[in-house]
A and B are shown apart, each in its own frame.
Chain A
Amino acid sequence: MSLFSRFMDGWRKYRKPGYYDEFDYHWTMTIDLDKCTGCEACVTACQAENNIPVVGEDEMAKGREMQWIRIERYWEGEYPNAKLSFIPMMCQHCDAAPCETVCPVGATYHNQDGLNAQIYNRCIGTRACAVYCPYEVRYFNYYDHEWDSPLEQQLNPDVTVRGKGVMEKCTFCIQRIRQAKDVAKDDDRRRVQDGEMQPACVQTCPTKALVFGDRKDHESQVYKSMNDPRNYRVLDELNTDSSVFYLKKVDA
């Protein structure tokens, strides 16, 4: 390929959100807010799966929480008609992600599965991605976090323990996706089937409010769920083209 055509090819890709003509898989999550009870099982499951450090009370007081998925709460009305709605918020894996454009070193990029990936090794810690993210789901390692021994024995060997000065965020449990793809590849190069893998939060959700899968598979549960008439995307007006669909809460 000539240098010029390579350049033009790159240019054309650059002009496309996510650079890809077509994703291999298009991992998507739907969250049914009518089912979400705010129990936070997903939060702890995520902590356990992804080696997310416990930062301690002083750091929490400074507002340096580390929770890749968090539950936001919004009150409406006043007593006695007060209502509370929960909404799980994690990286939305936007196909037109604002964070991806700003990283000067390209530490966050879109991979071929439609995931917004974060390369810890490459991150230099400008934290610009966290500023650009409208969902505020990027968390920064302000310190090297330590696990009081023997808590470190619980650490997931498939997930990097992040050091100081590095940004991190929800990966849709990319290690599980990789494993499922490996298994599928070894198994006669088939595609990963619906329900074959789930991120930790989806797997544990006691009300099954979270559904995960490949939206290119039109038989998948997630494809059906994201085409539910109740679907919407948070901050859709920003055109981030996110991969997390929420299903509206039903008032009855």
Chain B
Amino acid sequence: MPNIDRREFLKLVGAGGVSVGAGFMLREANKDPREYLIPHVLAPEDFSSGLDTFYNSVCSMCPAGCGISVRTREGRAKKIEGNPAHPVSQGRLCTLGQAGLQALYNPDRLTAPMRRTGEGESASFEEITWEQGLKQVGDRLDLLRAARRGNRVAFLTQGVRGHLAQLFESFMRQLGSPRLLHYDFDHPHTLYAANQQFFGESRLPYYDLANTRLLLSFGADYLNNWISPVHHSLGFGESRQGRADVRGRFVQIEPRMSISGAAADEWIPAKPGTEGILALGLAHHIVAEGNYNGADLGAWTNALADYTPDAVAEQTGVPVNTITRLADSFVDTTPSLAIGGGAAGNHSNGVDTLVAVNALNYLVGNIGQEGGLVLNPEPAGPAVQQHRASYSAMVELAEAARQGEIDILIISGTNPVFTLPPAAEFAEALAQIPLVVSLSSFLDETTALADVILPSHTYLESWGDDFPEPGVGFSVGAVSQPVVSPLYNTRGTGDIILDLARRMGSSSVMPWQNMEEFLKYGWRRIYQRGDSQTLAQGFDAFWTSVLKAGAWGETTNGSTAFTLNPDVIAGIGVAPPEFSGSEEDYPFILHPYLSPNFHDGRGANLPWMQELPDPMTSVVYGSWVEVNPVTAEEMGLSEGDLVDIQSPHGQLRVPVFVYPAIMPNVIAIPIGQGHGEYGRYAKGRGVNPIEILSPLLEPITGNLASSATRVNLTPTGGRVKLVKTGGVSRDLGRDIVQHTSLGVEVSSAADNSIPITEVTT
């Protein structure tokens, strides 16, 4: 023990105390404020620390309508899974669906209502209260309605189904305006029209991939963005390896290999726009070989007379023997299925092409068969097909706006300024409308031009429901419920509409206080379809069970019997596709395709999606143009070379990616990037190929023939480094992805051999 006297001791104690105190103060001063945990004094019912709570809901990231199951913890959404009880997604989910969390927690969300101040360059948004915003819009609506000029109001929404769609409809009916438009860039108008022509009903059939043995896909990227990718993927997996002794074979016909093309057993490049001609070539062969014996054989023979394999081979660029082989196997393999869509439907002959694909199914008897086309029953929820807006409907809207016929435009969810070609002059038309109201959750290109922004909840915060279209062969519905409490001062789209309806004095017709109430009102009808047992339990029990299960289904199947209207056969025929621009000036055909990551551009504000390598090229954070290796070599282009792509309607500068599976006279650019607004992750990245599309239409639907623009390609001499994750995409004989062939028995070595590595069990 060293000698310490009292004074020394006190000094030491004092100094020690002061240092500890100073250290503590310093630590407190530097403390991260997030360290404080504030416990709930009265925790919400479903809130228990450390325990997960799962909520079933519906994904709204794309129009497929997958059921989801959201894991929440301490009131925050942590993970989205597929809902196993939902027949569309069956517990699975795609990449965009997984990223829905980043829409909810996006740093660039609109947090409160806003109003535009200033004009032109100096325009900016100022925050307002909901009362101010709703009053400004509601008063104008009320005025117009009172003056019986409600038809000067237009409502433009993304494609929605279910009761929200019905709400929009009754809202517009109150105003007496026919201008309700559901606009999505990728809505398959031509497919609906073709089915209307062929089946006589404007509904999509169910494509039973799971049970088919041979799938011919004419341009439909069914595993990626076409209609219901998760459900198709499930079917694909089931068909491929889900059955004991049958392995489904998949053939993809398209000018540029898509994800579905890569997954297919055979990829057949056909000249863009000639997919329908090819289908009729197959049909011709089927009929000519005597493989069709229907009563209307004569009509078919007549209709298909011009589509001899030789003529078709000439037009499509597909060899004769491939045509006959495909046709033969399509007949021989049952069940088989032909689907068409995507780029094949986005040509001037789109409807005819898809009718031709249906004809193929008809000729081999796939319609109404398991493993073929299964006709869907009437959806249980409200149907909205008549409000689907094609390109020409949007042009009409823009024209009406220019003529001063529109006083108020309400936009919900859709982003036409980004997804319409500049030829539609939509942005200019918006400027002519006195009051543009956006209900978007994000400041996208269209919302940036709005006068008033009344920001909606994201789908994870709001009430809604969905009846997937197409169904899965029987009626399906699901309720979308909030899984977290709203993050910001936003409101559900339905709630905003109901509030506006009250303000224009429609509360007698639309008496519901909020969307939840309206949903319950609507679902009461579905409840009444239930069996006696369900009815005995009462609506509340039914409602709870629907919310818990996340899905409602009814085993009413569509009719299996189908008779073809003879007029259809006479009308069958596919004209050669038209393209804008001459072949001399514009030697390449532009193939814009929906990006797997961004869909039509809506996913571009999600950092996960930006950083997700494109499956085919592994490029991240940018745009590229895919060029055939031979073409690239002829033009002296290699990866990263900047080229100017010029169409009759615009020009883009974009780096080259040499793509091994694209036709030599086709170039492809993914849609989704090239945003001028839409938050920090999307803004100013890559290019938007829609900007250079020519406004060529499919005449029956008025759909934009988005795959029919011719372009030329000029090297600029510039170079950029294409940011991508992949190195060399050839396996150099290393047998990394191993293959085996069908029919050859794959068996292990002789029983007595001893392998080096044991399969330990």
Contact = CB atoms under 8 A, between A and B. Distances in A.
A touching B, CB within 8 angstroms: yes
Interface stretch (A6-14, A164-172, A224-232): A224-232
Interface in A1-42: 26, 32-35, 37-41
A38 B80 CA distance: 20
Contacts of B96: 44
Contacts of B630: 79
A251 B615 contact: no
Given A60-B620, A73-B726, A154-B101, A33 B661 contact: no
A252 B609 CA distance: 33
A138 interface: no
Instruction: Report the interface size class on chain A.
Output: 35 or more
Contact of A206 (B102, B230, B736, B756): B230
A204 B92 contact: yes
B78 interface: yes
Contacts of A56: 611
A75 B761 contact: no
B342 interface: no
A205 B267 CA distance: 23
A38 to B, nearest CB: 4
A153 interface: yes
A82 B658 CA distance: 13
Contacts of B609: 44
B123 interface: no
Interface string B747-759: 1100000001101
Interface in B72-99: 73-74, 76-82, 91-99
A48 to B, nearest CB: 5
Contact of A61 (B80, B92, B618, B721): B721
Interface string B18-42: 0000000000000000000000000
A55 B101 contact: no
Interface stretch (B2-10, B125-133, B236-244, B493-501): B236-244
Contacts of A208: 92, 234, 237-238, 242
A209 B223 CA distance: 14
Interface string A212-252: 00011010000100110110111110010100001111111
25 contacts: A35-B236, A38-B262, A41-B93, A44-B98, A44-B99, A44-B612, A45-B93, A47-B608, A71-B613, A74-B729, A74-B730, A78-B629, A79-B630, A79-B664, A80-B267, A80-B269, A83-B267, A156-B79, A206-B233, A215-B760, A215-B761, A218-B761, A229-B747, A248-B740, A252-B742
Interface of B: 50, 73-74, 76-82, 91-99, 101-102, 104-107, 223-224, 229-230, 233-234, 236-238, 240-242, 247, 249, 257, 259-260, 262-263, 265, 267-269, 487, 596, 607-613, 615-616, 618, 620-622, 628-630, 660-664, 680, 685, 721, 723, 725-726, 729-731, 736-742, 745-748, 756-757, 759-761
Interface of A: 26, 32-35, 37-41, 43-45, 47-49, 54-57, 60-61, 63, 65, 67, 70-80, 82-87, 95, 148-151, 153-157, 200, 203-209, 215-216, 218, 223, 226-227, 229-230, 232-236, 239, 241, 246-252
Given A65-B620, A148-B607, A203-B91, 19 more contacts: A37-B263, A40-B613, A44-B96, A44-B612, A47-B608, A60-B725, A70-B613, A79-B662, A82-B257, A82-B267, A84-B660, A150-B107, A200-B79, A206-B94, A223-B761, A248-B740, A249-B740, A250-B739, A252-B741
